[in-house]
Copies of this chain bind each other. A is one copy, B any other.
Amino acid sequence: MSVLIVGSTALDSIKTPAADRPRLLGGSASYAAIAASFFAPVRLVGVVGTDFPKRYLRLYRRHGIDLTGLQIKPGKTFHWAGEYEVNMDHRRTLRTELGVFETFSPDLPPAYRKTPFVLLANIAPSLQGHVLDQMARPKFVVADTMDLWLNIALKELLALLKRIDGCVLNESEAQHLTKEDNLLQAARAIHKLGPKYVIIKKGQHGSLLSAPGGLFLAPAYLLERVVDPTGAGDSFVGGLMGYLAGARGPIEANLRRAIIHGSVVASFCCEGFGPSRSSRATRAEIEQRVKELEKRTRF
Protein backbone atom coordinates (compact mmCIF):
# COMPACT_ATOMS: atom_id res chain seq x y z
CA MET A 1 0.00 0.00 0.00
CA SER A 2 1.07 3.61 -0.46
CA VAL A 3 2.19 6.08 2.13
CA LEU A 4 1.44 9.80 1.96
CA ILE A 5 4.18 11.98 3.41
CA VAL A 6 3.63 15.65 4.18
CA GLY A 7 6.26 17.94 5.66
CA SER A 8 8.97 20.38 4.79
CA THR A 9 11.05 20.20 1.62
CA ALA A 10 14.11 22.36 1.92
CA LEU A 11 17.72 23.13 1.23
CA ASP A 12 20.11 22.64 4.14
CA SER A 13 23.54 24.16 4.52
CA ILE A 14 25.42 22.09 7.06
CA LYS A 15 28.65 22.72 8.91
CA THR A 16 30.35 20.02 10.94
CA PRO A 17 33.82 20.09 12.49
CA ALA A 18 34.96 18.14 9.40
CA ALA A 19 33.24 19.94 6.49
CA ASP A 20 30.92 22.61 5.21
CA ARG A 21 28.24 21.58 2.69
CA PRO A 22 25.90 24.17 1.19
CA ARG A 23 22.40 23.62 -0.22
CA LEU A 24 21.96 19.89 0.37
CA LEU A 25 18.52 18.38 -0.11
CA GLY A 26 16.75 18.80 3.24
CA GLY A 27 13.41 18.98 5.02
CA SER A 28 11.46 16.47 7.09
CA ALA A 29 9.40 15.21 4.13
CA SER A 30 12.46 14.73 1.90
CA TYR A 31 14.27 12.54 4.41
CA ALA A 32 11.11 10.62 5.31
CA ALA A 33 10.13 10.05 1.69
CA ILE A 34 13.52 8.69 0.69
CA ALA A 35 13.51 6.39 3.74
CA ALA A 36 9.97 5.13 3.10
CA SER A 37 10.65 4.53 -0.59
CA PHE A 38 12.71 1.40 0.17
CA PHE A 39 9.57 -0.37 1.33
CA ALA A 40 6.45 1.11 -0.32
CA PRO A 41 5.25 3.61 -2.95
CA VAL A 42 5.47 7.17 -1.62
CA ARG A 43 3.31 10.22 -2.35
CA LEU A 44 4.91 13.50 -1.37
CA VAL A 45 3.29 16.80 -0.41
CA GLY A 46 5.53 19.83 0.04
CA VAL A 47 6.53 23.13 -1.49
CA VAL A 48 9.73 24.34 -3.14
CA GLY A 49 10.73 27.52 -4.94
CA THR A 50 11.79 27.92 -8.54
CA ASP A 51 15.42 27.82 -7.33
CA PHE A 52 15.02 24.17 -6.30
CA PRO A 53 17.76 22.20 -8.07
CA LYS A 54 16.56 19.84 -10.81
CA ARG A 55 18.93 17.18 -9.51
CA TYR A 56 16.88 16.90 -6.33
CA LEU A 57 13.70 16.37 -8.35
CA ARG A 58 15.58 13.62 -10.18
CA LEU A 59 16.66 12.15 -6.84
CA TYR A 60 13.03 12.00 -5.64
CA ARG A 61 12.03 10.38 -8.95
CA ARG A 62 14.82 7.80 -8.77
CA HIS A 63 13.17 6.69 -5.52
CA GLY A 64 9.84 6.35 -7.35
CA ILE A 65 8.34 9.16 -5.25
CA ASP A 66 5.06 10.51 -6.66
CA LEU A 67 5.55 14.29 -6.97
CA THR A 68 1.98 15.23 -7.98
CA GLY A 69 1.66 16.88 -4.57
CA LEU A 70 4.94 18.80 -4.70
CA GLN A 71 4.09 22.46 -5.28
CA ILE A 72 6.64 24.56 -7.17
CA LYS A 73 6.03 28.24 -6.38
CA PRO A 74 7.68 31.46 -7.56
CA GLY A 75 10.24 32.40 -4.93
CA LYS A 76 12.92 30.72 -2.90
CA THR A 77 12.99 27.27 -1.35
CA PHE A 78 13.01 27.03 2.47
CA HIS A 79 16.67 27.25 3.46
CA TRP A 80 18.10 26.15 6.81
CA ALA A 81 21.73 26.56 7.82
CA GLY A 82 23.13 24.91 10.92
CA GLU A 83 26.32 23.89 12.61
CA TYR A 84 27.18 20.84 14.70
CA GLU A 85 29.53 20.67 17.66
CA VAL A 86 32.41 18.21 17.81
CA ASN A 87 30.39 15.36 19.33
CA MET A 88 27.39 15.89 16.99
CA ASP A 89 25.04 15.92 19.98
CA HIS A 90 24.26 19.59 19.75
CA ARG A 91 23.57 21.79 16.78
CA ARG A 92 22.79 25.44 16.44
CA THR A 93 20.81 27.16 13.75
CA LEU A 94 22.83 29.74 11.84
CA ARG A 95 20.07 30.93 9.50
CA THR A 96 16.46 30.14 8.59
CA GLU A 97 14.90 31.59 5.41
CA LEU A 98 11.34 30.38 5.05
CA GLY A 99 10.86 31.52 1.43
CA VAL A 100 7.82 29.89 -0.22
CA PHE A 101 7.39 27.67 2.86
CA GLU A 102 6.06 30.67 4.79
CA THR A 103 2.69 30.45 3.05
CA PHE A 104 2.68 26.68 2.50
CA SER A 105 -0.76 25.08 2.51
CA PRO A 106 -0.60 21.31 2.12
CA ASP A 107 -3.48 20.90 -0.30
CA LEU A 108 -3.80 17.32 -1.47
CA PRO A 109 -4.23 16.28 -5.09
CA PRO A 110 -7.55 14.38 -5.30
CA ALA A 111 -5.69 11.14 -6.08
CA TYR A 112 -3.90 11.31 -2.71
CA ARG A 113 -7.01 11.52 -0.52
CA LYS A 114 -7.51 7.80 -0.09
CA THR A 115 -3.90 6.93 0.72
CA PRO A 116 -4.07 4.31 3.51
CA PHE A 117 -0.90 5.29 5.39
CA VAL A 118 -0.28 8.91 6.32
CA LEU A 119 2.91 10.32 7.79
CA LEU A 120 2.59 13.87 9.04
CA ALA A 121 6.30 14.64 9.14
CA ASN A 122 7.50 17.55 11.20
CA ILE A 123 5.66 20.78 10.25
CA ALA A 124 3.26 23.06 12.15
CA PRO A 125 0.48 21.02 13.80
CA SER A 126 -2.18 23.21 12.17
CA LEU A 127 -0.86 22.17 8.73
CA GLN A 128 -0.76 18.54 9.86
CA GLY A 129 -4.41 18.91 10.87
CA HIS A 130 -5.27 20.49 7.53
CA VAL A 131 -3.97 17.35 5.79
CA LEU A 132 -6.22 15.11 7.89
CA ASP A 133 -9.21 17.34 7.03
CA GLN A 134 -8.77 16.31 3.40
CA MET A 135 -8.26 12.57 3.93
CA ALA A 136 -10.90 9.89 3.46
CA ARG A 137 -10.56 7.55 6.47
CA PRO A 138 -6.89 6.59 6.33
CA LYS A 139 -5.89 3.24 7.80
CA PHE A 140 -3.01 4.52 9.96
CA VAL A 141 -1.82 8.05 10.73
CA VAL A 142 1.43 8.92 12.47
CA ALA A 143 2.65 12.42 13.31
CA ASP A 144 6.15 13.56 14.13
CA THR A 145 6.71 16.85 15.94
CA MET A 146 9.41 19.00 17.54
CA ASP A 147 9.99 21.20 20.57
CA LEU A 148 9.24 24.39 18.61
CA TRP A 149 5.56 23.40 18.29
CA LEU A 150 5.33 22.55 21.99
CA ASN A 151 6.37 26.13 22.65
CA ILE A 152 4.40 28.10 20.04
CA ALA A 153 1.50 25.85 18.95
CA LEU A 154 0.65 23.64 21.92
CA LYS A 155 -3.12 24.03 21.51
CA GLU A 156 -2.98 22.92 17.86
CA LEU A 157 -0.65 20.06 18.75
CA LEU A 158 -3.02 18.81 21.47
CA ALA A 159 -5.92 18.98 18.99
CA LEU A 160 -3.88 16.97 16.46
CA LEU A 161 -2.95 14.27 18.99
CA LYS A 162 -6.64 13.36 19.35
CA ARG A 163 -6.84 12.61 15.61
CA ILE A 164 -3.84 10.33 15.06
CA ASP A 165 -2.98 6.68 15.72
CA GLY A 166 0.67 7.13 16.58
CA CYS A 167 2.99 9.92 17.57
CA VAL A 168 6.75 10.10 17.49
CA LEU A 169 8.76 12.46 19.66
CA ASN A 170 12.13 12.51 21.29
CA GLU A 171 12.84 11.98 24.95
CA SER A 172 13.09 15.63 25.95
CA GLU A 173 9.97 16.53 23.94
CA ALA A 174 8.00 13.76 25.66
CA GLN A 175 9.15 15.05 29.04
CA HIS A 176 8.41 18.65 28.07
CA LEU A 177 4.92 17.83 26.74
CA THR A 178 3.86 15.81 29.77
CA LYS A 179 5.94 17.41 32.56
CA GLU A 180 6.92 13.84 33.44
CA ASP A 181 10.59 12.98 33.80
CA ASN A 182 10.02 9.23 33.88
CA LEU A 183 9.63 7.87 30.34
CA LEU A 184 7.01 5.25 31.22
CA GLN A 185 4.91 7.88 32.97
CA ALA A 186 5.44 10.25 30.04
CA ALA A 187 4.31 7.59 27.54
CA ARG A 188 1.22 6.88 29.62
CA ALA A 189 0.40 10.59 29.77
CA ILE A 190 0.74 10.87 25.98
CA HIS A 191 -1.65 7.92 25.47
CA LYS A 192 -4.20 9.91 27.49
CA LEU A 193 -3.82 12.77 24.99
CA GLY A 194 -4.96 10.49 22.15
CA PRO A 195 -2.43 8.27 20.38
CA LYS A 196 -2.71 4.49 20.78
CA TYR A 197 0.94 4.12 19.82
CA VAL A 198 3.64 6.30 21.38
CA ILE A 199 7.20 6.14 20.09
CA ILE A 200 9.89 7.95 22.05
CA LYS A 201 13.19 8.45 20.25
CA LYS A 202 16.39 8.37 22.29
CA GLY A 203 19.02 8.95 19.59
CA GLN A 204 21.93 6.53 19.85
CA HIS A 205 20.15 4.86 22.79
CA GLY A 206 17.40 3.61 20.49
CA SER A 207 13.69 4.12 20.97
CA LEU A 208 10.76 2.98 23.03
CA LEU A 209 7.35 1.94 21.73
CA SER A 210 4.41 1.97 24.10
CA ALA A 211 1.48 0.06 22.59
CA PRO A 212 -1.56 -1.93 23.73
CA GLY A 213 0.52 -5.11 23.30
CA GLY A 214 3.22 -3.86 25.67
CA LEU A 215 6.54 -2.07 25.59
CA PHE A 216 9.17 -2.54 22.92
CA LEU A 217 12.72 -1.39 23.59
CA ALA A 218 14.37 -0.88 20.22
CA PRO A 219 18.13 -0.56 19.82
CA ALA A 220 19.82 1.96 17.55
CA TYR A 221 22.30 0.72 14.98
CA LEU A 222 25.46 2.20 16.50
CA LEU A 223 28.01 3.67 14.13
CA GLU A 224 31.74 4.02 14.51
CA ARG A 225 31.53 7.44 12.91
CA VAL A 226 28.67 9.88 12.45
CA VAL A 227 29.17 12.21 9.48
CA ASP A 228 25.96 14.26 9.73
CA PRO A 229 22.95 13.42 11.92
CA THR A 230 20.62 15.84 10.11
CA GLY A 231 17.43 14.05 9.09
CA ALA A 232 18.04 10.92 11.17
CA GLY A 233 14.76 11.32 13.04
CA ASP A 234 12.84 11.97 9.80
CA SER A 235 14.49 8.95 8.18
CA PHE A 236 13.53 6.84 11.20
CA VAL A 237 9.84 7.69 11.01
CA GLY A 238 9.84 7.54 7.19
CA GLY A 239 11.42 4.08 7.19
CA LEU A 240 8.98 2.98 9.88
CA MET A 241 5.89 4.14 7.94
CA GLY A 242 7.21 2.83 4.63
CA TYR A 243 7.80 -0.58 6.18
CA LEU A 244 4.28 -0.65 7.68
CA ALA A 245 2.72 0.35 4.35
CA GLY A 246 4.67 -2.37 2.55
CA ALA A 247 3.96 -5.16 5.06
CA ARG A 248 0.98 -7.53 5.19
CA GLY A 249 -1.00 -8.24 8.32
CA PRO A 250 -2.12 -6.18 11.31
CA ILE A 251 -0.28 -2.98 12.18
CA GLU A 252 0.72 -4.02 15.68
CA ALA A 253 2.25 -7.28 14.45
CA ASN A 254 4.51 -5.32 12.09
CA LEU A 255 5.30 -2.30 14.23
CA ARG A 256 8.38 -3.67 15.99
CA ARG A 257 10.09 -4.67 12.77
CA ALA A 258 9.00 -1.34 11.27
CA ILE A 259 10.78 0.51 14.07
CA ILE A 260 13.92 -1.59 13.55
CA HIS A 261 13.87 -0.84 9.81
CA GLY A 262 13.42 2.86 10.58
CA SER A 263 16.44 2.74 12.91
CA VAL A 264 18.55 1.11 10.24
CA VAL A 265 17.64 3.67 7.56
CA ALA A 266 18.42 6.40 10.12
CA SER A 267 21.86 4.84 10.61
CA PHE A 268 22.59 5.09 6.89
CA CYS A 269 21.36 8.69 6.96
CA CYS A 270 23.98 9.57 9.62
CA GLU A 271 26.80 8.17 7.48
CA GLY A 272 26.70 10.91 4.86
CA PHE A 273 25.89 14.59 4.46
CA GLY A 274 22.19 15.18 3.94
CA PRO A 275 20.54 12.11 2.40
CA SER A 276 23.63 11.32 0.31
CA ARG A 277 24.25 7.95 1.99
CA SER A 278 20.68 6.89 2.79
CA SER A 279 19.59 7.58 -0.78
CA ARG A 280 22.26 5.14 -2.03
CA ALA A 281 21.37 2.35 0.43
CA THR A 282 19.97 -0.89 -0.96
CA ARG A 283 17.26 -3.08 0.51
CA ALA A 284 19.87 -5.82 0.90
CA GLU A 285 22.14 -3.52 2.93
CA ILE A 286 19.18 -2.54 5.09
CA GLU A 287 18.23 -6.18 5.75
CA GLN A 288 21.83 -7.00 6.64
CA ARG A 289 21.84 -4.37 9.41
CA VAL A 290 18.43 -5.60 10.61
CA LYS A 291 19.95 -9.08 10.96
CA GLU A 292 22.95 -7.62 12.74
CA LEU A 293 20.59 -5.89 15.21
CA GLU A 294 18.87 -9.24 15.82
CA LYS A 295 22.26 -10.72 16.70
CA ARG A 296 23.12 -7.76 18.91
CA THR A 297 19.96 -8.02 20.99
CA ARG A 298 19.28 -11.77 21.41
CA PHE A 299 19.93 -13.33 24.80
A248 CB–B CB distance under 8 Å: no
Interface bits A263-299 vs B (CB < 8 Å: 1, else 0): 0000000000000000000000000000001111111
Interface bits A193-237 vs B (CB < 8 Å: 1, else 0): 000000000101110100000111111001111100000000000
A215 to B86, CA, bound (A): 25
How many A residues have CB within 8 A of the partner chain?
34
Q: How far is the CB of A122 from chain B (nearest CB, A)?
A: 24
Of chain B, the residue at the smallest CB distance from A220 is: B217
Q: Work out how many copies of this chain go into the complex.
A: 2
* A299 partner, pick from B86, B205, B226, B294, beta carbons under 8 A: B294
Of chain B, the residue at the smallest CB distance from A225 is: B182
Interface bits A245-276 vs B (CB < 8 Å: 1, else 0): 00000000000110110000000000000000
Do residues A224 and B184 form an inter-chain contact, with CB atoms below 8 A? yes
A259 to B86, CA, bound (A): 32
Q: Given A202-B205, A205-B202, A205-B205, is A296 in contact with B215 using a C-beta cutoff of 8 Å? A: yes
Q: Given A86-B181, A181-B86, is A299 in contact with B257 using a C-beta cutoff of 8 Å? A: yes
Q: Given A202-B205, A205-B202, A205-B205, is A216 in contact with B299 using a C-beta cutoff of 8 Å? A: yes
Do residues B299 and A256 form an inter-chain contact, with CB atoms below 8 A? yes
Q: How far is the CB of A96 from chain B (nearest CB, A)?
A: 28
A183 CB–B CB distance under 8 Å: yes
A293 to B214, CA, bound (A): 11
* A226 partner, pick from B182, B205, B293, beta carbons under 8 A: B182
Q: How far is the CB of A247 from chain B (nearest CB, A)?
A: 13
Q: CB within 8 Å of B: which residues of A?
A: 86-87, 181-185, 202, 204-206, 208, 214-219, 222-226, 256-257, 259-260, 293-299
26 residue pairs from A and B, CB less than 8 Å apart = A86-B181, A87-B181, A182-B223, A182-B224, A182-B225, A182-B226, A184-B222, A184-B223, A184-B224, A185-B224, A185-B225, A202-B205, A205-B206, A208-B222, A215-B222, A216-B296, A216-B297, A216-B299, A217-B293, A217-B296, A256-B298, A256-B299, A260-B299, A294-B299, A297-B297, A297-B299
